[in-house]
Amino acid sequence: MAVSLTVLVDPRDPAARRTLTAPAGTTVLKAAHAGGVDITATCGGRGRCTSCRVKFVTGTIPPPTLADEVQLGDDLVREGYRLACQCRLEEAITVQVAPPVEEQSFQILGAGPGVTPASGITIDAGITKQVVKVSLPREEHHQTSDLDQLVAAVGLEPDDVGPSVLATLPASLRDDDGTVTVTTFGRRVLAVERGDTSSMKFGLAIDIGTTSVVTTLVELESGEQLGSVSSLNPQAVFGGDLMSRIAFVQFNPGNLRKLTTRIVGLLNQHIAEVGREAGVLPKWIYKVVVVGNTCMHHLLLGIDPSWVGLAPYAPVMRHALVLPARDLNLKVAPEARVCLLPLVAGFVGADAVGVVLATRIYASTELRVAVDIGTNGEVILGSRERLWACSAPAGPALEGAQIRHGMRGALGAIDRVVVDDDIRVHTIGEVDALGICGSGLIDLLAGLLEAGVIDATGLIGVEARDALPPRLRDRMVMRGEERQVIVLRPGEAGAGREIVLTQDDVRQVQLAKGAIASGVAMLLHVAGVRGDRLAELMLAGGFGNYISIPSALRIGLIPPLPPDKVRYVGNAASLGAQLALLSEAERARAEEIAGRIEHVSLAAHPDFEQIFVDSMNFPPR
Amino acid sequence: MAVSLTVLVDPRDPAARRTLTAPAGTTVLKAAHAGGVDITATCGGRGRCTSCRVKFVTGTIPPPTLADEVQLGDDLVREGYRLACQCRLEEAITVQVAPPVEEQSFQILGAGPGVTPASGITIDAGITKQVVKVSLPREEHHQTSDLDQLVAAVGLEPDDVGPSVLATLPASLRDDDGTVTVTTFGRRVLAVERGDTSSMKFGLAIDIGTTSVVTTLVELESGEQLGSVSSLNPQAVFGGDLMSRIAFVQFNPGNLRKLTTRIVGLLNQHIAEVGREAGVLPKWIYKVVVVGNTCMHHLLLGIDPSWVGLAPYAPVMRHALVLPARDLNLKVAPEARVCLLPLVAGFVGADAVGVVLATRIYASTELRVAVDIGTNGEVILGSRERLWACSAPAGPALEGAQIRHGMRGALGAIDRVVVDDDIRVHTIGEVDALGICGSGLIDLLAGLLEAGVIDATGLIGVEARDALPPRLRDRMVMRGEERQVIVLRPGEAGAGREIVLTQDDVRQVQLAKGAIASGVAMLLHVAGVRGDRLAELMLAGGFGNYISIPSALRIGLIPPLPPDKVRYVGNAASLGAQLALLSEAERARAEEIAGRIEHVSLAAHPDFEQIFVDSMNFPPR
């Protein structure tokens, strides 16, 4: 039996609604997704977050499930909220979805300044444009073809030209009396264009992260960055982290294609947008370099990543790949070469290779470490002698997930916190606070540690609060069994709502920072060196560049180093992609680097447990 | 303004109707095609045939155009018939289309018995299946991937395996504990299948003609032909001959894709049908060999054939091509190799190369000639010393087009005629005659020549009819200015309607047979040999195999040879494709043959005019 579901998609506009039908018994989440209505399900619909919560407007509100009670809490359950992944369609209902945060308001780290003369590379993207005059076939007896004439003019063989280039060859040849521009990559002909188009030669560097995607348009002769666009990864609707997305794939055979289609669709939007802004036609884009973690890489190629999520976390493939753009349905020149940088392991992907390429760790005479902090972060340690890498899965806490009042770094997020005799906050956009994001959490914990509100084990010391300044003291409360720090009270300046830090939130951040710190510690352990031997620690990626270095040092997210040895390196993965885009030598180097990196599996190492436990604690005052 | 058009698609069923709308001023033909209603337009909608005729049922009948009057004649015009390509939608109308002849009733020459031990080839299709046990990645530290393990087991490199094979690799590897069957062509991995599928190894030979398409399924180990299906080429709706189809492509930029989609769609139907009948899954088909004329070849690949139709009639490409099936959207194994045999010239295609391969002319110690009679026929002359080929475009007369009562070789067509003291006919299916097809026309003309009804110049000798037997005499009439032979009168046995042969019909057949005869004569002339030096003349293709050899000799369609030197060789192009399918050595030989064939352009040769005029006449009694 089919049941009707009406979804109000915008709380500010009751007319913004979609009605669909689904078989009775389907969960509201699945019914909505099947009907093309995006309800965000950060945990992949497994009842482990609150992102898919809906409020019942009409119809019988079903009794709350255990997941409803745990995730939403009594108040929201009483107000008629349920998790869409938990409640099933039994009769016609109308629900209101949680409003999606405006994408534009997110902080996404862009591509950075790109390749500069300081990068010291010789530009040679491998794309050659040659203007030739082709003699058209004129004689009936003589056996020839348009293609024979073309390859004779450019010194190639018919097999160097694929049929997709041939489709429009006769018209191109005859439009300008045989004058055409032939674009090649090695011996492969990528395009034959009428007239002289030799000045049109562009490429894309694409960084596909679990959370965000950055596409950069580059002129291939000068290396000039013409534009860059970034967006949230639209696959996140089906799961915020890798494991949720893998679970989504396993749920239904059609879901893999859904994820692939989503990312390809976004890339094509990016291509259209960045090209429009720069006045570059997509057909003039002949080379694309893609970096991303292993799971994103596999999903882009339509490769089932299910086993990447299971021990021993082996990728399906690791080698560098060069494909025609038409194979991926990317809307650039159909024969444009899409170069996917190589992978190292299931959780150390091409993005890590890009970071090594961009940070030049591989050529360093001293030992350096690069840390890409994120849901699925990576740590790379090494020098020109050796390179080690491990994954450091911080989990989604630093993205605001599984934190009571956590949120991503978007409009209204508390991103900076100072603790002195009280707690003072700054919000993104300087609007009323809606929640707290990762950089705010790290500042908050650093400040609370320094003030003695939290001890080295992470306990919120409510019992000892009398020693604190009065304002700070009054923020420490017990609510039921729960220790809390009230960060903002309703009515305080900048407070959109009450925002608290719970004991459980502290534990979540400890787990996250412990993962990263233990990654660094493990690599140092495997390399047999002490942390103070490090010449430099580089913070890479979309998250690392927003956190305060002193706060990160204070909570022990990174090992104790003088602050001047810690440096932001921007979106290093994307810069690595740009290097490989602009230089075939750099692209070859990426392959060599991937072959050199020694993968260290944290969980499989006998010393890991002790290192992880040690890393969970905070450094003492 | 949009106007409504209702098309009655089946005269026997008034309920079988389609209503669509199109902008006012659109021709009925284009409106119908745009709306997905197939109205056959053999001449491509240029007012040069009657295939798109419609009868007005409601609405104002427009005044007849010149093309209506010339093609349809007064009677049909008076009855409300018009050519759909000539009349424009100005108000809501309902028209009845000419009923399509049931496809099943057409005579299409199938694939023949296929490759037999007598063919003397060593079977080696180049497809190898290897059952291997792959060790799955088990250790987290060690950098490996599913693909690395696979290629190690089979002795290949990661680059030998494309991403489309990788999509399902992890599941395939784990389903049977690492036991998989790896299919390769050279070093290229075409498929990785779970378990042992080594006995499943199939291929297709496809012959794409302008008029008909034949698909043959072959077991690649034994060479056994498992089944064959044939159909009319569905592109014919948009034009019966090559020039009409080229004109259709030029008419509108979207039309090329329409033709490509049509043929690919038909091939996928064939694949599904032949596979279902033989119990072979399409994913077990790993090699496909395609032959066809140059235009069909280009249309399959989506290559614009416009300039193939213009002097100097150069093909866009000529070399042998090997593509993955997914590039052509053929629904066999996605990585199956589709091998297109090479072309010689714009009107001497891969089908001619297939004929040479199958007939072994290239190895003959004596001079032989193969004639593929058809709308776009070819003649190949040669021996192991040299090979010459030319196109011999008979035009559509022998397919029944541009003949007053002509029709294709379908149910109700007069296919055999005997002339003694009267005219006696045989029809396909032995039903009442609906018209006369090519083989019937050739018999009829041969008989009338022998009886003295027609003289060597082709004139129907009405003035001299008194010398003939009475029954034959009474069949010769003048109607207005027109000389006619009444082949069947209404009421005579087997007569569904009156069927006549007009003087103009005789001229059309003279043009057709003159084209073929002059092709043979020209090649003999270029080779510098006399016709009586020929060791053999082979009749190949879908038409040649239905005509009577004595009749063909009598009208001079083929040069004067003892009848025992003329032989039917069946669908030689398709057999050539089967040889290349079953033997990589034969496929290589096809390339060598294409390189050896010397193309002779009839029209460009200074002696052509005289040879053609000589060939138009009939041999005297």
Contact B352, B344 (CB under 8 A): yes
> Which of A390-394, B148-152, B291-295 has the lowest average pLDDT?
A390-394
Q: Rounded to whole angstroms, how far apart are CA atoms A588 and A586?
A: 5
Whole-angstrom distance, CA of residue B566 vs CA of residue B535: 9
Cβ <8 Å between A314 and B144: yes
> How far A297 CA sits from the closest chain B CA (Å)?
11
| Tokens linked to A269 | 């939007």
Task: Give helix A350-359 / helix A572-582 axis angle, nearest 10°.
Answer: 80
Cα separation, B515 vs B257, in Å, equals 32
**Which positions ≥6 away from B487 have C-beta within 8 Å?**
B405, B414, B417, B423, B425, B436, B444, B475, B499, B500, B501
In chain A, the residue whose alpha carbon lies closest to the alpha carbon of B601 is A141
CB < 8 Å to B315, chain A: 145-146
Q: Which of A142, A315, A600 sits opposite B141 (nearest CB)?
A: A600
Phi, psi angle pair for B230, to nearest 5° = -140, 150
Mean pLDDT of chain A: 90
Q: Within this chain, do residues B407 and B389 fall inside the same structural domain, yes or no?
A: no
* CA-based end-to-end distance of chain A: 64
Inside any domain, residue B31 = yes
Distances in whole angstroms, Cα of residue B111 to Cα of each of A266, B204, B532: 48, 11, 31
Report whether pLDDT(B104) > 50: no
Please classify residue A363 by burial: count the beta carbons closer than 10 Å to its beta carbon, then call 0-12 exposed, 13-18 middle and 19+ buried.
exposed
Test mutation, A138, A249, A303, chain B, max B CBs within 10 A: A303
How far apart are alpha carbons A327 and A325 in whole angstroms?
Answer: 5
Query: Looking up tokens 């192991």, which residue turns up?
Result: B384
Q: Is residue A118 part of a domain?
A: no
pLDDT over threshold 60, residue B299: yes
SS percent in chain A: helix, strand, coil, step 5: 35, 25, 40
Does the residue A108 lie in any domain? no
- Cβ contact A138–B312 (<8 Å): yes
Q: Are A376 and A519 in a shared domain? A: yes
Other beta carbons less than 10 A from residue A206's beta carbon: 25
Per the CB < 8 A criterion, the answer to whether B428 and B478 are in contact is no
Name the strand (E) or helix (H) holding B478.
strand B476-479
Whole-Å CA distances, B289 to B317, B583, B584, B588: 17, 11, 11, 12
Of the candidates A511, A490, A508, the residue with the CA atom closest to the CA atom of residue A499? A490
CB contact under 8 A, A307 and B174: yes
DSSP state of B331: S
CA distance B98 to B32: 13
CB-based contact A18:A7 (threshold 8 Å): yes
The terminus-to-terminus CA distance of chain B in angstroms comes to 64
Q: Does B210 fall in a domain?
A: no
The radius of gyration of chain A from alpha carbons, rounded to an integer in Å, stands at 27
Q: How far apart are CA B533 and CA B529, in angstroms?
A: 7
Chain-chain contact of B314 with A137 (C-beta, under 8 angstroms)? yes
Partner-chain residue, chosen from B145, B303, B600, that has the shortest CB–CB distance to A141: B600
Q: Which of B503, B519, B542 is the last residue of a domain?
A: B503
CATH number at residue B28: 3.10.20.30
Mark residue B99 as left, alpha or beta (left: phi above 0; alpha: psi -120 to 50; beta: remaining).
beta
Give the per-residue pLDDT at B143.
Answer: 79
Residue B99 token pair: 């009923």
Partner residue facing A146 (CB), from B139, B169, B316: B316
Which of B135, B145, B297 is best to mutate for the A interface (most A CBs within 10 A)?
B145
CB contact under 8 A, B138 and A312: yes
Q: Which of A147, A256, A311 sits opposite B317 (nearest CB)?
A: A147
Closest residue of chain A to B596, computed from CA coordinates = A143
Span B344-369, mean pLDDT?
Answer: 96
Q: How many domains does chain A have?
A: 5
pLDDT tens sequence across A131-185:
999 998 887 767 789 999 999 999 999 999 988 899 889 999 998 889 999 999 9
Q: Give CA–CA dist B501/B513, Å, rounded.
A: 16
pLDDT of residue A251: 82
Nearest CB among A145, A303, A318 relative to B316 is that of: A145
Q: What is the pLDDT of residues B447-473, one digit of tens each?
A: 999 999 999 999 999 888 899 999 999
Size of interface A-B (CB pairs under 8 A): 156
The pLDDT tens digits of the residues spanning A93-139 come to: 999 887 654 544 556 666 677 777 667 789 999 999 999 999 988 87
Residue B113 has pLDDT above 80, yes or no: no
Best B135, B136, B138, B140 member to test A by mutation, with max A CBs in 10 Å, is: B140
Residue A250: which domain range?
202-313
Over residues B63-83, the pLDDT tens digits come to 998 888 877 878 788 888 899
B615 pLDDT higher than 50:
yes
Cβ contact B318–A147 (<8 Å): yes
Q: What angle do CA A254, A258, A259 make, to 5 degrees?
A: 125
- Whether A579 is covered by a domain: the verdict is yes
- Most distant CA pair in chain B, distance: 104
Best of A317, A328, A335, A344 to disrupt the B interface (most B CBs within 10 Å) is A317
In a domain, A345, yes or no: no
Q: Which residues contact B181 (CB under 8 A, 6 or more apart)?
A: B129, B130, B131, B132, B191, B192, B193, B194, B195, B196, B197, B198
Residues facing B5 on adjacent strands: B20, B93
Residue B266 lies in a domain: no
Smallest Cβ–Cβ distance between A316 and the set B142, B146, B319 belongs to B146
A484 DSSP β-pair partners: A477, A502
What CATH number is attached to the domain comprising B137?
3.10.20.880
Note the pLDDT of residue A48. Answer: 75
- Cis-peptide into A312, omega within 30 deg: yes
Q: List Cα–Cα distances, B568 to A170, B359, B537, B572, B592, in angstroms.
A: 38, 11, 9, 10, 25
* Measured CA distances, B225 to A367, A616, B205, B220, B565 (Å): 67, 70, 10, 9, 29
Phi, psi of B61 (to 5 degrees): -80, 125
Looking at the structure, tell me whether residues B402 and B441 fall in a common domain.
yes
CA torsion sign for B524, B530, B533, B538 is: positive
Residue B514 and residue B388 share a domain: yes
DSSP states along A521-550: HHHHHHHT--GGG-SEEEEEHHHHTTS-HH
- Please state at what angle helix A503-527 crosses helix A438-451, rounded to 10 degrees: 90
Backbone angles phi, psi at A338, to 5 degrees: -100, 115
Instruction: Mutate one of B157, B317, B330, B597 to test the A interface: name it (highest A CB count within 10 A).
Output: B317
Contact flag B143-A344 (C-beta cutoff 8 Å): yes
Q: Do A143 and B302 touch (CB under 8 A)?
A: no
Name every residue whose Cβ is closer than 8 Å to that of residue B28 and which is 6 or more positions away in sequence: B5, B39, B54, B82, B84, B85, B87, B88, B89, B93, B95
Query: Scanning every residue of chain B, which has its alpha carbon at the shortest distance from the alpha carbon of A605?
Result: B141
pLDDT of residue B464: 86
Chain A neighbors of B256, CB-CB under 8 A: 167
In sequence order, the β-bridge partners of residue A417 are A425
At A104 the pLDDT is: 45
Task: State how far residue A101 is from chain B, nearest Cα, in angstroms.
Answer: 34
The pLDDT, as a whole number, for residue B105 is 55
Q: Which residues of A touch B307 (CB under 8 A)?
A: 146, 170, 174
Q: Which residues contact A493 (CB under 8 A, 6 or more apart)?
A: none
CA torsion sign for A270, A271, A276, A277 is positive
Nearest-Cα residue of chain B relative to residue A163: B301
On whether both B486 and B543 belong to a single domain, the answer is: no
Please tell me what DSSP assigns to residue B460. Answer: B
Find chain B residues with C-beta within 8 A of A139's C-beta: 312, 604
Q: What is the 3-state secondary structure (H, E, C) of B558-570?
A: CCCCCHHHEEECC
Q: Which residues of B touch A603 (CB under 8 A)?
A: 140
| Nearest chain B residue (CA) to A143 | B345
Position A32 scores a pLDDT of 87
User: Residues A425, A367: one domain?
Assistant: no
- The mean pLDDT of A38-55, rounded to a whole number, is 80
Asked if pLDDT for residue A391 goes beyond 80, the answer is yes
Closest-CA residue to B405 (of B489, B478, B515): B489
User: What are the residues facing B284 on neighbouring strands?
Assistant: none
What is the CATH number for A592?
Answer: 3.30.420
B375-399, pLDDT tens digit by residue? Answer: 788 999 999 999 999 998 887 788 8
Q: Are A249 and A307 contained in the same domain?
A: yes
B291: left (phi over 0), alpha (psi -120 to 50) or beta: beta
**Do A312 and B169 count as a contact with CB atoms less than 8 A apart?**
no
Asked if the Cβ–Cβ distance from A601 to B137 is below 8 Å, we say no
Cβ atoms of B47 and B241 closer than 8 Å: no
Identify the band that residue B108 occupies on the pLDDT scale cut at 50, 70 and 90. Answer: low
- Chain A: closest CA distance from residue B330 (Å): 15
Q: How far apart are CA B472 and CA B469, in angstroms?
A: 6
Chain B residue with the nearest C-alpha to that of A597: B143
CB-CB under 8 Å, A147 with B316: yes
Q: Which residue of A has its CA nearest to B604?
A: A140
Give the residue-averaged pLDDT of B232-248.
Answer: 86
Same-domain pairing of A216 and A238: yes
Averaged pLDDT score across all residues of chain B: 90
| CA atoms of A69 and A556, how far apart (whole Å) | 34
Complex ipTM > 0.90: no
Contact flag B166-A317 (C-beta cutoff 8 Å): yes
Are B545 and B109 in contact by the 8 Å Cβ rule? The answer is yes
Same domain, B151 and B175: yes
Distance from CA of B337 to the nearest CA of A (A): 14
Q: Which residue of A has its CA nearest to B321?
A: A159
- Shortest CA distance to A125 belongs to which of A268, A336, A301? A336
The answer on B375 and B515 residing in a single domain is: yes
Q: Are residues B469 and B560 in the same domain?
A: no
B389 and B516 within one domain: yes
Q: Quick check: A314 and B601 CB within 8 A?
A: no
Banded pLDDT at B244 (limits 50, 70, 90)? confident
Nearest CA in chain B to A604: B140
Asked if B314 lies within 8 A of A147 by C-beta distance, the reply is: no
Among A509, A540, A558, give the residue marking a domain's end.
A509
Domain closes at, from B150, B178, B194: B194
Task: List the beta bridge partners of residue B83.
Answer: B53
d(CA A357, CA A581) in angstroms, rounded, equals 12
What count of other Cβ atoms lies within 10 Å of the Cβ of residue B110? 18
Element (H, E) at B446: helix B438-451
In a domain, A109, yes or no: no
User: For A601, which of B141, B164, B316 is closest by C-beta distance?
Assistant: B141
